[in-house]
Structure 1
């Protein structure tokens, strides 16, 4: 006996596929950053130096004196000269009085005249330093300077920007060229 045979024949599907690739773009913008550097705080405190110069002795050595001191000096010199003049006249009067009766009338007057008006010896000559050494007195008190610096920290502001992500998904479109089939035949 013969058994029927089944013959199965298949036809595969044929497709024409159009594939659009996906597109992805990622950008990272730079961070937004600002930096400020405040100026340092600078404080300077100074005290002035004091310079005192006393040149009054040097001015006196040069003959430059004030009007009050000058008039006082001239008054004292006048007083001393008048006292010397009175002493000289008293001395001359005593000489005349003591020698008047001794017949020396003219000789006494000649001697007195020679004493007052004869050649006088000048004083010794020497070098004199004007103004005298050390006559200018200088006193200096130095000033001070205090410097205080306070540094300021920089101010940094940073903002991180998010990445920009652009994505276009891919797309697949297809056209069927051949449909799938299954043919079954019974051979008998």
Structure 2
């Protein structure tokens, strides 16, 4: 006897997926920075020092005078000597006028006029100590400095971004199939 049999053959569907990943590139350029430092301005003013040396006293101690000073000194010494002479003569004249006082003015005046005063002995330093006089005005230095702040300029650069979107594609790699057969089989 023959019995019909159904035979089924099936093939499943296969899905194929293709992906392209997204890409993101980020680069950060460095910032721009410029720094300028202006030079400082310096001004200096100097007043020279002044040294004064006065050695006129030393020259006078050595009797090395200028003509003007020598004449003035000798004129003063002559005037003083003349006044002392006049005073001595007046005193001696008055002593002669008072002869009645029983003094011996002739003898006294003879001794006074005959002998001059003796000079004193001793050391004399020529020129005398501290005869040269010095004075010094120190120099003055005035320094003016004008500083300037640095000039700083900076700018930020934005990041550079490049984005490529990804993709996704689906398709059937294998179509589904179903085959049905009716087969008669003998028993």
Aligned to 1:56: 56
CA deviation after TM superposition for structure 1 residue 146, in Å:
2.5
Aligned equivalent of 1:160: 156
- Residues 49-88 of structure 1 mapped to structure 2, 5 A cutoff: 49-62=49-62, 64-65=64-65, 68=67
Q: Which one of the candidate residues 135, 141, 160 is aligned to 2:131? A: 135
Offset at residue 54 of structure 1 (A)? 0.7
Partner of 2:147: 151
Q: Provide TM-score, normalisation by structure 2.
A: 0.54
Structure 1 residues 119-130: aligned runs within 5 Å: 124-130=120-126
Aligned pair count reads 138
Counterpart for residue 25 of structure 2: 25
Distance 1:60 1:172, change over 3 A: same
**How far did residue 149 of structure 1 move?**
2.1
- Cα distance change, pair 127–27 in 1 and its aligned pair in 2 (3 A): same
Query: Cα deviation per residue 1:92-149 (whole Å; 9 max; x = unaligned)?
Result: xxxxxxxxxxxxxxxxxxxxxxx9xxxxxx9554222222122112233334332222
Q: 1:47 to 1:23 in 2, by over 3 A?
A: same
Gaps of 5+ in 1: 1-10, 81-114, 116-121, 183-188
Task: Give the distance between the partners of 1:34 and 1:131, measured in 2 at CA.
Answer: 73
1:5-58 per-position Cα deviation (integer Å, ceiling 9, x unaligned) = xxxxxx975321121211111111111101111122222223223221111221
CA–CA distance in structure 2, aligned partners of residues 28 and 20 of structure 1: 26
Q: Which residue of 1 aligns with 2:168?
A: 172
RMSD across aligned C-alpha pairs, in angstroms? Answer: 4.2
